[in-house]
A = this chain, B = another copy of it.
Amino acid sequence: MTEHRLPPVVARMWGREASPRYGPRPSLDLGTIVDAAIRIADRDGLEGVKMSSVAAEVGMATMSLYRYVGSKDQLLTVMADAALPEPPALHDQGWRTYLADWTRANRDFLLSRPWLLALGQHTPPAGPRSLRWADRAIAALADTGLGYGERLSIAATLSGYAIGQAALAHALNRTTDATDSTVGLAEYRDVLGQVLDPDGYPELTAAVRANAFGVSEEWVDDADFTFGLDLLLDGIQALIARGKR
């Protein structure tokens, strides 16, 4: 098993600089820059995060940032980890309750920082915060008799579910303007009604006619989220029961 060198971004996320420094110490640390970038993203969205705006926020020249990050892309990667909250604390009300909390909290922070969704870094977690989320999920399943592989798969599945639901809710909550490329909920049902023909889309047409898309609030609120989550948790429960038998 070879020891790979840590990729630079990963090293930075964990506060391990690739090269020890001699001479003058840098006037800033990466954390300050990342915090500034997060503040901008919260305020102006991801489009507001430019190397120039981040530099201005910390009071440096734009190019000085390249002392701390190799590229804007790397800065975004570090932000994506640093912007996560801590996962819910483990409790002893059982795995099902904990994982439900965990998944909901996961969705909630994505909704509170939608630019994390736009970042689209659904890559395997490598930063301290995201790995803590992973750790807590598999910890909650420690007494179920499931193996590590299964527990990791479950964590990945639940986290994917949280992402999907957050993306959906966020997309539907936006209002569409004419220049925009996505459709908000207000128009959605109406758009489908105008566009669908019953021959090509028989069931969907019926669903629209049956008013299955509800009104604004319903679709986005918790009913759908809980519904799908319970599907998953039921499946996990069945798996555990099978193992115990």
Contact = CB atoms under 8 A, between A and B. Distances in A.
Contacts of A150: 227
Contacts of A178: 7-8
Given A3-B190, A121-B182, 5 more contacts: A117-B122, A122-B171, A132-B201, A231-B232, A232-B235
A160 B221 CA distance: 17
A224 to B, nearest CB: 5
Greatest chain B CB density within 10 A among A8, A151, A167 is at A167
Contacts of A190: 1-4
A131 B159 CA distance: 25
A73 interface: yes
Interface in A118-176: 118, 120-124, 126, 128, 131-132, 134-136, 138-139, 142, 147-154, 156-157, 159-161, 163-165, 167-168, 171-172, 176
Q: How many copies, total?
A: 2
Interface in A179-198: 179-183, 185-188, 190-192, 194-196
Contacts of A28: none
Contact of A238 (B163, B201, B203, B234): B234
Contacts of A187: 4, 7
A84 interface: no
B203 A123 contact: no
A196 B149 CA distance: 18
A194 B4 CA distance: 9
A207 to B, nearest CB: 4
Interface string A187-221: 11011101110001111101100101110000000
Given A152-B212, A231-B239, A142 B203 contact: yes
Contact of A204 (B135, B161, B183, B203): B135
A238 B227 CA distance: 12
Contacts of A8: 178-179
